[in-house]
Structure 1
Amino acid sequence: MKSILITGAASGIGKAAAELFHRKGWYLGLVDINEDALKALSERLGSCWYQTLDVTDSAATAAAVADFAKLNGGKINGVFNSAGVLRMGSFEQIELTEHRRTFDINVMGLMNVCHAAFPFLKETKGAKIINMSSASALYGVPHLASYSASKFAVRGLTEALNIEWQKFDIHVCDLMPPFVNTPMVTEQDVTPAVVKRLGVNLDPDDVAKAAWTAMNNQAVHFPVGLQFASLMRMSKVLPAKATRLMMDVLSR
């Protein structure tokens, strides 16, 4: 049985991915900081391993990943780095502690998991890491400045590790969805113009399906949804100035 470790598994995209991979017959390793929601999910699904985890704690992350790998003979077939946070609003009106938290979870937390999983992934034929990037990694999004910057970092890390780790038969890729109907998006204190104009047109299940596609594909970047896939294709042929103008208009 193939195994996958999913971070941020207690809600949203991570939860939808856990449910999908469970239906596909994979053995799940579920981690999240929300203990109650994580326990409820694991009990409902059954036959899975779970542990409460703050991915920004590198030592705890390493221990958790090793514990999960032990159950699979020291191997892990896949990792889905779904844990993340988002804070919308004007950059200067958001406390620096919030900006730092965004990077701690979205970037360093993801790096902690990748680093901890590497020894077990390299022992597994055709291992895969799927990182949650975002449509906001295509061009910096106003009022999502630190979130957008964190997803640029995820995109860059994904591209670098995709090349570095190919010699170990580890494929690293990312998902790039626009706004998804999760509490992280819908329960914000403010709703930027770009969100209102583009809309929230994806559900967690849409991104989970993209993760399943990515697990069985060798591409590096996976735009999610027809809307963003079209924008991404346009960005490849239009000059950067045009992309900036489009983002400026959408943000007014």
Structure 2
Amino acid sequence: MQNIFISGGASGLGLSTAKKFLAEGWRVGVYDLVDCDLQHENLVVGRLDVTQPDSWEAALADFTAVTGGQLDILDNNAGVIRDGNVADLKPADISLQVQVNAYGVTLGARAAYPYLKKTPGSHLVSMASASGIYGQPEIATYSATKAYVGAMTEALGLEWRKDDIRVIDIWPLWAKTSLAETSATSARRLGVHITPEQVAERIWEATHPKNAWQRGRIHYGVSPLDEVLYRARHMAPDRVARIINKALSAG
């Protein structure tokens, strides 16, 4: 049986991912600060504070005690958002986003590495966001942490290549979870159309490449629109990208 560990998996995208992999016959570890209501014979649940190194080590030790030490996928899913202009945000709200979305992702990768390297063809999956393609006003800190996820994914993909660990990330637009309950203008203008189930399906597809060409991919969108935005940003000059994003996100 193959095994996936999901941080922040008790709700939202993480819970949908857990359901998808359970349906495919995997053993799933859902570790979070809140209780998970899902029940399944192949589900393992536990506590995890992603901002604490000791919590990561304890959670992964707990899960791999059930799996015989095997870890096929770590899904760095946990994330938080606090909207508002940076000048108006409380320092605690800024710190929380950086601690969970950036520091927590890095700690997760660090803690999972010893387990992933023992399983050839294993994956580290981190949840980024289309808001990290070009920094978005009203969610600037959140956008910055998701751009961090992209850079970390690229760097670890090179660092861990020798260990046969594939490192990828997912860049969806607004999905129908509590994170989308924000006053950010981009959420209103672009709409919230992606379902958690679509994100879970994309994670499944991304971690099951059919050939060497697909295996070489690093960044994954979920909908046609976020795929277009990602590709357009990397082809467009900065001035053009700024104009486009201003139209999409400025109040």
- State TM-score, norm by structure 1: 0.94
Question: Which residue of 2 is the match for residue 194 of structure 1?
Answer: 186
SS at match of 2:160: helix
* Alpha-carbon offset, residue 73 of structure 1: 2.1
- State TM-score, norm by structure 2: 0.94
SS at match of 2:95: helix
- 1:93 aligned to which of 84, 88, 93: 88
Does structure 1 residue 8 correspond to structure 2 residue 8? yes
SS at match of 2:83: coil
* Alpha-carbon offset, residue 91 of structure 1: 1.2
Q: Map Cα deviations across residues 103-134 of structure 1 (whole Å, 9 max, x no partner).
A: 10111111111111111110001000110011
Question: Which residue of 2 is the match for residue 22 of structure 1?
Answer: 22
Measured in 2, the distance between the counterparts of 1:235 and 1:57 equals 34
Pairs aligned (count): 244
Question: Which residue of 2 is the match for residue 212 of structure 1?
Answer: 204
Measured in 2, the distance between the counterparts of 1:143 and 1:99 equals 12
Contact 1:62/1:112, CA 8 A, preserved across alignment? no
Question: Which residue of 1 is the match for residue 225 of structure 2?
Answer: 227
* Alpha-carbon offset, residue 136 of structure 1: 1.2
The worse-fitting range, judged by mean Cα deviation, of 142-151 and 240-249 is: 240-249
Does structure 1 residue 84 correspond to structure 2 residue 91? no
Runs (4+) of structure 1 exceeding 6 A deviation are none
* Alpha-carbon offset, residue 69 of structure 1: 1.5
Q: Map Cα deviations across residues 44-99 of structure 1 (whole Å, 9 max, x no partner).
A: 22322110211111101111112212222222001111100011111111101101
Contact 1:7/1:81, CA 8 A, preserved across alignment? yes
Measured in 1, the distance between the counterparts of 2:135 and 2:76 equals 21
Give the unaligned 5+ runs of structure 1: none
Q: Map Cα deviations across residues 137-167 of structure 1 (whole Å, 9 max, x no partner).
A: 1111111100001011111100000111010
Measured in 1, the distance between the counterparts of 2:247 and 2:106 equals 34
- 2:164 aligned to which of 158, 165, 169: 169
Question: Which residue of 1 is the match for residue 107 of structure 2?
Answer: 112
* Alpha-carbon offset, residue 8 of structure 1: 1.0
